[in-house]
């Protein structure tokens, strides 16, 4: 939306976003979901992935719409054209990327920072930043959206 309708977006915050080409990992929930057709996922895949995801990730999966969950996994697998990183670098609004500090440096962090993107590692969290560290997430988003 920020790229297609820049007049509607004043600032952008991305949270643990998929910026680069898809890396296939058969053990990841996203790969499992994207391996099903939408009909198969809704009929049987949802329960299968939910069972394999473990209690913490399953709790977050239950909060999302099943259609949206599957479509997001497929979109991630198929990559965006251009890649999200390229689109992000082309925007001329304040941009911030939040990521879990425990994952180590964000790949391509130097290029993003040189392109004007603010990179913020959020401590004490994993992929579910806004659930794992509610306070750290809220502070990082508030700082990113401050004028």
Whether residue 109 contacts residue 21, with contact meaning beta carbons closer than 8 Å, is answered with no
What pLDDT was estimated at residue 110?
Answer: 96
What residues have CB less than 8 Å from 35, skipping those under 6 apart? Answer: 45
* Helix/strand/coil percentages in the chain, nearest 5: 50, 10, 35
Determine the straight-line distance between the first and last CA of the chain, rounded to whole angstroms.
21
Whether residue 53 contacts residue 33, with contact meaning beta carbons closer than 8 Å, is answered with no
What pLDDT was estimated at residue 61?
Answer: 86
**Could you report the per-residue pLDDT of 31-49, keeping only the tens digit for each?**
889 899 999 999 999 999 9
Q: Burial, 9: exposed, middle or buried (Cβ in 10 Å; 0-12, 13-18, 19+)?
A: middle
What residues have CB less than 8 Å from 93, skipping those under 6 apart? Answer: 2, 6, 9, 10, 11, 12
Quick one: which of 39, 72, 69 has its CA closest to 57? 69
**Could you report the per-residue pLDDT of 102-146, keeping only the tens digit for each?**
999 999 999 999 999 999 999 999 888 998 999 999 999 999 999
pTM: predicted TM-score of the whole model, two decimal places? 0.82
Q: Report the chain's mean pLDDT, rounded to a whole number.
A: 91
């Amino acid at each position: 939306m920020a790229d297609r309708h820049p007049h509607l977006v004043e600032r952008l915050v991305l949270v643990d976003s998929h910026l680069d080409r898809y890396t296939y990992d058969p053990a990841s929930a996203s790969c499992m979901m994207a391996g099903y057709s939408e009909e198969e996922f809704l009929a049987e895949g949802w329960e299968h992935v939910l069972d394999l995801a473990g209690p913490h990730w399953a709790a977050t999966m239950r909060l999302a719409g099943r259609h949206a969950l599957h479509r997001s996994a497929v979109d991630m697998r198929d990559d965006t054209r251009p890649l999200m990183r390229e689109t992000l670098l082309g925007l001329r609004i304040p941009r911030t990327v939040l990521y879990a500090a425990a994952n180590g440096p964000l790949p391509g962090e130097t290029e993003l920072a040189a392109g004007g993107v603010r990179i913020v590692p959020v401590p004490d969290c994993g992929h579910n930043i806004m659930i794992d560290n509610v306070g750290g997430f809220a502070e990082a988003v508030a700082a990113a959206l401050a004028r």
